[in-house]
Amino acid sequence: AVKDEWLGSYTVRSSDGGRTWEKPARTTGSTPHGPIVLKDGRLLYVGRYFRGEQTIISVEESLDQGRTWQMLSEIRPLPHEQPSKMFHEPHAVETGDGRIVAQIRYHGSDQCMRQSESSDGGRTWTVMQPTPLAGLPPHLIRLRCGKLLTVYGRRFDACGEYACLSDDEGRTWDVANEIKLAGHFNGDLGYPASAELPDGSILT
């Protein structure tokens, strides 16, 4: 009974700066960087869960600031990219034109992230497509200038933390001008995340 109650994924809310915590709310999936806040006030949680030997990318929403979660959809891979345990640790961002762009850690031979988009608030998604972004896992933000920024760790060859910008709301990525933020001596190098500060600088 204890396992049935507690094995799984949860979010936990605090309304007083972390002094006390509410009852955990069960989610279907999970991901290191957690949910995002959409312009309409919803929380959107693009996560991952296991279905047998497959990893499924789930999309959930909360209409009550994280007290409860409801499943919206799943993001499907290309059919030939669905062997066991290939997809993990997604993150998403809402664009200025109202789309939602999600990137997904992919364990395939090209070692590049996959990307999917939703134009209806997360209810339906395009099939995942390969990106030219070699690394994992992603963290995405939209900068005040309108560009999208993704940061990720490269765990092979020139290991380190990298960043890349998109000038067209995530439709393409400027890999020719990829930014190496920090090198590392092996592939065990953490999960970068970014925030744009009031003065326009970016802290990763």
The Cα 148–Cα 128 span in angstroms is: 18
Partners of residue 75 on adjacent β-strands: 57
Rg (CA), the chain: 17
The Cα 182–Cα 179 span in angstroms is: 9
Among all chains, which residue has been given the structure tokens 């955990």? 24
The answer for 124, left when phi > 0, alpha when psi is -120 to 50, beta otherwise, is beta
Query: Over its length of 204 residues, how does the chain's per-residue pLDDT go in tens digits?
Result: 999 888 999 999 999 999 999 999 999 999 999 999 999 999 999 999 999 889 999 999 999 999 999 999 999 999 988 877 899 999 999 999 999 999 999 999 899 999 999 999 999 999 999 999 999 999 999 999 999 999 999 999 999 999 999 999 999 999 999 999 999 999 999 899 999 999 999 999
Cα separation values, 188 from 11, 55, 62, 88, 159, Å: 26, 22, 33, 16, 9
Judged by DSSP in three states, 16 sits in coil
The predicted model scores a pTM of 0.94
